[in-house]
């Protein structure tokens, strides 16, 4: 099975140091260490983490020092993010969230991992992002929590019907 290409949003790095999200975040980073996930990181994440606590910045540094795909902002990325805002998927105040989705969409990420339930891991917004993506000829996005990504990669998980 090929590695899952996962766009990692800013919240995942901080999640390692939040009691509520620590277990799921650490499981996700273990999946990266085990070679099951290829992380995709963007300059948007780097900018957002520039003033984060030192431990969060160290977690980010470990990821970008390892094997990962680094995504740079392009004009097409900004245009797609603007389309999300114009369609009302997110407000202009949430432009960075739109940029995360646009970056992941254009990189053809398998999944976006996030703990941002308000703007990203939200079925209504996911439907909105995908509506814009389809209208503009892009693929659809899948947005999951890091914990759900890690759980989906657990050995022996494939083919089991009892969880369905």
Is 105 inside any structural domain? yes
Is 159 inside any structural domain? no
Q: Show the domain range for 122.
A: 4-151
Is 17 inside any structural domain? yes
What CATH number does residue 94 fall under? Answer: 3.40.50.1010
Number of domains the chain contains: 1
What pTM, to 2 d.p., does this model score? 0.90
Is 164 inside any structural domain? no
Is 64 inside any structural domain? yes
Is 102 inside any structural domain? yes
Is 161 inside any structural domain? no
Tens digits of pLDDT across the chain (164 residues): 689 999 999 999 999 899 999 999 999 999 999 999 999 999 999 999 999 999 999 999 889 888 999 999 999 999 999 999 999 999 999 999 999 999 999 999 999 999 999 999 999 999 999 999 999 999 999 999 999 999 999 865 455 445 44
Is 163 inside any structural domain? no
Q: Are 11 and 160 in contact (CB under 8 A)?
A: no
C-alpha–C-alpha distance, residues 131 and 26, integer Å = 32
**Residue 96 CB contacts under 8 Å (≥ 6 apart), including other chains:** 44, 48
């Amino acid at each position: 099975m090929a590695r899952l290409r996962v766009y990692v949003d800013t919240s995942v790095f901080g999640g390692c140091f939040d009691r509520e999200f620590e277990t799921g975040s650490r499981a996700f980073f273990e999946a990266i260490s085990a070679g099951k996930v290829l992380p995709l990181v963007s300059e948007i994440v780097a900018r957002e983490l520039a003033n984060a606590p030192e431990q969060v910045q160290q977690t980010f540094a470990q990821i970008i020092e390892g094997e990962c795909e680094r995504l740079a902002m392009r004009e097409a990325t900004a245009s797609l993010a603007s389309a999300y805002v114009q369609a009302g998927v997110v407000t202009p105040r949430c432009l960075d969230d739109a940029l995360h989705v646009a970056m992941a969409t254009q990189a053809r990420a398998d999944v976006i991992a996030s703990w941002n339930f308000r703007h990203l891991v939200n079925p209504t917004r996911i439907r909105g992002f995908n509506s814009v993506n389809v209208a503009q000829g892009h693929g659809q996005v899948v947005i999951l929590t890091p914990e759900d990504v890690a759980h989906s990669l657990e050995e022996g998980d494939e083919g089991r019907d009892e969880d369905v």
